[in-house]
Structure 1
């Protein structure tokens, strides 16, 4: 089962990496959050999960950013592409957290 999830994570990550960052969100900070920083932080965590288990610090960062991004998603519904982009990022990050968690079980 973990192998299937890791393969799925790798596929989602490849799909996500081919998506350009939403141009209008370089300056936009929904809910006061810098989504550029959130994007890069989550990307680093996801990439790290693909390489192996996270350390406690990165695991906490991943969980916190998943929660923060989940709260932001409803506030960006006015931009269809950004919604698609950040929803994909959120789903990929959630799966990364699940893969990381399954490694410790």
Structure 2
């Protein structure tokens, strides 16, 4: 658990240094809006069953979706936050490698959403 806390501290420090995406706030309204937009977007059909650098994109999309949904419901636990951060790491790895623009945009938006949800799901330091 110390490792999870250490990783959380690193994420918090890095996110504090990075500017927030345009229009994003910490109250969750933008997360919910962006999540609704993402859910309305079709999954890039030509990327069903495709792996990028060993990451199955359909499974990554599904796992991130479940975890973001749990965060929006307010039931994401510490394990869920750690899994969400693992999704962020996978997205950070694969998004630059996706050569097709609409698929890259789909997964880049998912990366933004998972980052926002991971930050929201992390308890404040005491």
Q: Is the pair's TM-score, using the shorter chain for normalization, greater than 0.5?
A: yes
Correspondence list, 1:92-103, <5 A: 92-101=113-122
Alignment partner of 1:61 out of 76, 83, 86: 83
Flag the structure with higher helix content: 1
Q: Give the aligned CA root-mean-square deviation in angstroms.
A: 1.3
* Alignment of 1:28 onto 2:50: yes
Name which structure has the greater RCO, CA cutoff 8 Å, separation 6+: 1
Query: Which digits, 9 at most, give the CA deviation of each residue in 1:50-87, with x for residues without a partner?
Result: 011421221111001110111101110x2010011000
TM score, norm. by length of structure 1:
0.89
TM score, norm. by length of structure 2:
0.75
- 5-14 or 51-60: which moved more? 51-60
4+ residue segments displaced more than 3 Å: none
Rg (Cα) greater in structure: 2
Q: How many residues align?
A: 100
Give yes or no for contact 1:28–1:34 (8 Å, CA) kept in 2.
yes
- 1:5 Cα offset (Å): 2.9
Gaps of 5+ in 2: 1-24
